[in-house]
Amino acid sequence: MIPKVFKEVIDLGDGREISIETGKLAKQAHGSVVVQSGKCMLLCTVVSNYKQSDVDFLPLTVDYREKFAAAGRYPGGFFKREARPSDGEVLTMRLVDRVLRPLFPKDYHSETQVMIQLMSHDEDVMPDAMAGLAASAAIQLSDFPFECAISEARVGRVNGEFIINPTRAQLLESDIDMMIGASADSVMMVEGEMDEISEEEMTEAIKFAHEAIKVQCAAQVKLAEAFGKKEVREYEPEREDADLAKKIHDMAYDKVYAVAQAGSAKHERSAAFGEIKEEIIASFSEEEQADYGGLISKYYSKAEKAAVRDLTLNEGLRLDGRKTDEIRPIWCEVDYLPSTHGSSIFTRGETQALATVTLGTSREANQIDMPSFEGEERFYLHYNFPPFSTGEARPIRGTSRREVGHGNLAQRALKGMVPEDCPYTVRVVSEILESNGSSSMATVCAGTMAMMDAGVQLKKPVSGIAMGLITDTESGKYAVLSDILGDEDHLGDMDFKVTGTADGITACQMDIKVKGLSYEILVNALKQAREGRLHILGKITETISTPNTDVKDHAPTMVTRRIPNEFIGALIGPGGKVIQELQKETETTIVINEDPVTEEGIVEVLGVGSKGIDAVMAKIDSLLFKPEVGSVYEVKVIKMLDFGAVVEYMDAPGNEVLLHVSELAWERTENVSDVVNMGDVFDVKYFGIDKRTRKEKVSRKALLPKPEGFVERPPRDDKRRDDRRGNDRNRDRKPRRD
C-alpha cells in the first residue's frame, strides 16, 4: 500500500522551486520530511526522547551528512564508507543548530536529535541553504515544544541584483555570500562573507533574505496543518519558586551591581561574584539547600545578569570599567618566532592570539572532497583553542566544532585580500593563548599581520571586532557594546562579529536573541562596529603598515614558469627520474600542473635561496632552447668522435649537437683532435636541418676566414652518383631463375 504523501511547493520567483514532502519516508521518526530543489534531495528526521535528561541544558544534536552515493561517487581513502564529518558538514550543522536551539523552552532537557542527509545531489543546487528549512519543517510535524517555524536562506548579489539560494557558479560572480536564519517575525542568525560592502548594503541583503524566509515559514505551517498538527507533548518543567527568586534577587542585586560598577579584571571579578554567591548559599540551611536544589544558583545567575545589564543601560559602564564604545588596550608584535615563514602576536585586553604562516606549493593545497563540492583551497586558516587559554583543565578530544567554525569565519574574513596571483599555498594557524572575548576576531588581526610579515602581498589589511547589544523593550533603551568580554557574550541580546578593511565589510557572524530587532538598531550597531574596527586597524598598521617586499631569508621563494605541453614529459623524465634528481641536486621542490584551458605545463619551483631555483630555471631553459638559423652560439666540446665532436650549447646545458669533421676548419682535417679537444669552448653558426643528412648542422669554419688561395671543392653530383649506383646494382644483378 502506497502511503499518503503531503506536499508543499515554494516558488523562488525565478523558475526554481523547493518542495517539502512528508508521509513516504522514515515514518517512525517523530517528524520527517524530504526537501527537494531540482535533483537535490535532503531527508531530515527529528526524534526527541519523552523522558527528561538529568542535565540543566538542552542536549540537542544537529547532524548533517552528505552521502557520496548522492553524487554517484565513492568515498575517498582506504575504507569505502562515510566516516567522520568534513569541515563543510560541521559548518552546516553549526548554522542549523544556532537557529534551532533558542526556540526550544529553556526547561526542556530531553535528548533531541536532528539528522539531515543529502540523498541526491544537483550541481546547480547548494544543499546547505536548505538544511535549516528541512530541520524546521520536520520539527513542525512533530510534537516537540518548539516556538515557531524558522528557515534559512543564502543570499548573493550579482550585477547589483540580490539572488536567493544562488548556484555555486553564480556565487563565483557574487560580491555577497550570506546565510540568514529567521522566523517569520525576527532575524536570528547571519553569517557570511562579502567583498568590502557597506553596513547599509549588508542590511539590505538581510532584509531581502528575510522576505524569502517568510514564504518558507508559511509553507511549513501549511504542510503541518494538512498533515495534521500534533498536540504539543507534555513534559515535566523545571521547578519554579517566585518567592525564592525575589528573595535571592534582593540579596544579590545591589552587591553584584557594586562589583560590576568597580570595573575589575576577569579573575578578580569572578572571585568577587563567587563570594557573593557562596554567601547567599550559606544563608540557607542545609535542609533548604537540599530542598531547593539548583534553584539558588539559577536565581543568583538571573540576578547577576539583571544587575550587569542595568549597569550598562543606566550608566553606560561595563564590567571592566569601560564605556560602551571603548576598545581594550592593544599591543602587537611581528616576526616573533625565528623559524616560521611569518608570525605575529595580537593581544587585546585579556585575549591573545599567536599566528603563524607557512608558504608552500600547490601540492600543499587543502583538498576538499565532499559529495556536493570537490576542489582545493590555496589559502586556509586553522584555529586552535586549548583549555589553558581560559585557565581550565579539560579533556582534549580532537578539533571541536567551535574551532572549525571560528577558523572558518577568520578564513572568510581574510581570503578576499589574498591576491589572485599569489604563487604560494598559504596556511595560517592561530593559537589562542588567552581568551576573554572574541578570540576569532583576534585571529583575524593576528592572521593579517603574520601574512604581511611573511611577505604575502595582501591587498589591504583586515581587522575584526566582536560587538554586543543590550536592550530594554519597556523603556526603549539600548546599548551597543564594542569589543565584548566573555562575560558579556551571554548576557546580551545580540552578539555579532564583523571584519573588514578600511573600505568595507569582508565577513560577519551574528546571533540575535531578541525578537523583532529593528533594522535601525542593527545599522547603528554595525556603524559602531566600523568605528571599533578602524581603531583596531590603526593599531595593526602601527605595527606593520605594508607587507614585507620579500619572504624571509629562511623562507622559500616561489618561482612559476609555464612550458609547452610537449616538454612536460622531458622535464619529468622516465619514471620521474629527471625531476627527482633535479630536486635532489638543487634542494628545491618542483611541482608540475597542467593548465586545463591552455594545456600548458605550470612549473612551480620552491626553494630557499636563489642558487637552486636558478639551476632549475636553467634546466627548463635548456629544455625549451631552440637555436635560430643563422645565429651564432657558444659551445663546449663534451665528446670526441672519429667523424666530429659533440658540442653542448653553453646557454642551454644538456642540448647537444654534432659538429662534423668537415665543419671544423676550411682545410682538410684528418684527425678531429688536430683542431679541437675535450673542454674547448668556441663559437659555431647554426644552419638548421641539413637537407642531405636531415640532422642539425652547425659549423665552426663558417665563422673563420678562408685561407688565402683556398679553392673549395665543387659539390658532388648526387644525381649522377645515384644513377651510377643504380646502374651498378642493375649490372650486378643476375637473371632470376624460374
DSSP 74-136: PPSSSS-S--SPPHHHHHHHHHHHHHHGGGS-TT--EEEEEEEEEEE--TT--GGGGHHHHHH
Q: pLDDT for 72-118, tens place per residue?
A: 998 887 788 888 899 999 999 999 999 999 999 999 999 999 999 99
Asked whether residue 727 carries a pLDDT value surpassing 60, the answer given is no
124 has binding-site annotation: no
* 322 part of a folded domain: no
Q: Do residue 656 and residue 610 come from a single domain?
A: no
Q: Do residue 285 and residue 355 come from a single domain?
A: no
Q: Do residue 513 and residue 601 come from a single domain?
A: no
Chain center to CA of 482: 27
* 70 part of a folded domain: yes
Asked whether residue 726 carries a pLDDT value surpassing 80, the answer given is no
Quick one: 336 exposed, middle or buried, by C-beta within 10 A (0-12, 13-18, 19+)? middle
495 has binding-site annotation: yes
Compute the Cα dihedral for 716, 720, 726, 731 and give only its sign.
Answer: negative
Q: Which of 595, 624, 653 is the last residue of a domain?
A: 624
Q: Which of 227, 252, 284 is the last residue of a domain?
A: 227
Asked whether residue 738 carries a pLDDT value surpassing 60, the answer given is no
* 283 part of a folded domain: yes
Q: Do residue 616 and residue 636 come from a single domain?
A: no
Asked whether residue 491 carries a pLDDT value surpassing 80, the answer given is yes
Asked whether residue 255 carries a pLDDT value surpassing 80, the answer given is yes
Strands (E), 293-378: 330-334, 342-348, 351-360, 366-370, 373-377
Task: Give the whole-angstrom CA distance, residue 358 versus residue 379.
Answer: 10
Task: Give the whole-angstrom CA distance, residue 628 versus residue 623.
Answer: 15
User: Do 106 and 301 form a contact (C-beta atoms < 8 A)?
Assistant: no
Q: Do residue 508 and residue 377 come from a single domain?
A: yes
Q: What is the mean pLDDT of the chain?
A: 90
State the alpha helices, DSSP H only, in 420-509: 439-454, 486-489
pLDDT in the model for residue 650 = 84
Asked whether residue 56 carries a pLDDT value surpassing 80, the answer given is yes
Q: Do residue 462 and residue 494 come from a single domain?
A: yes
User: Do 42 and 34 form a contact (C-beta atoms < 8 A)?
Assistant: yes
Q: At 578, which CATH number?
A: 3.30.1370.10
Which residue range is the domain that position 662 belongs to? 631-703
Which residue type does 153 have?
A: A
More confident residue, 35 or 391: 35
pLDDT in the model for residue 415 = 95
* 737 part of a folded domain: no
Q: Do residue 614 and residue 560 come from a single domain?
A: yes
pLDDT in the model for residue 212 = 95
* 709 part of a folded domain: no
pLDDT grade for 448, boundaries at 50, 70 and 90: very high
Q: Do residue 535 and residue 561 come from a single domain?
A: no
Q: At 689, which CATH number?
A: 2.40.50.140
The single residue listed with the C-alpha cell 679541437 is 676
Query: What proportion of the chain, given as a percentage, has pLDDT over 70?
Result: 96
Q: At 420, which CATH number?
A: 3.30.230.70
* 733 part of a folded domain: no
Q: Do residue 617 and residue 648 come from a single domain?
A: no
Domains held by the chain: number:
5
How far are the Cα atoms of 176, 193, 196, 496 from residue 416, in angstroms, in the given order? 11, 9, 9, 20
Q: pLDDT for 111-152, tens place per residue?
A: 999 999 999 999 999 999 999 999 999 999 999 999 999 999
Q: Which of 227, 257, 274 is the last residue of a domain?
A: 227
* 724 part of a folded domain: no
Q: Do residue 258 and residue 124 come from a single domain?
A: no
Q: Do residue 188 and residue 296 come from a single domain?
A: no
* 732 part of a folded domain: no
DSSP per position, 194-243: EEEE-HHHHHHHHHHHHHHHHHHHHHHHHHHHHH-PPPPPP--PPP--HH
pLDDT in the model for residue 736 = 52
User: Do 21 and 34 form a contact (C-beta atoms < 8 A)?
Assistant: yes
Q: What is the pTM of this model?
A: 0.85
The single residue listed with the C-alpha cell 550597531 is 525
Q: Do residue 182 and residue 303 come from a single domain?
A: no
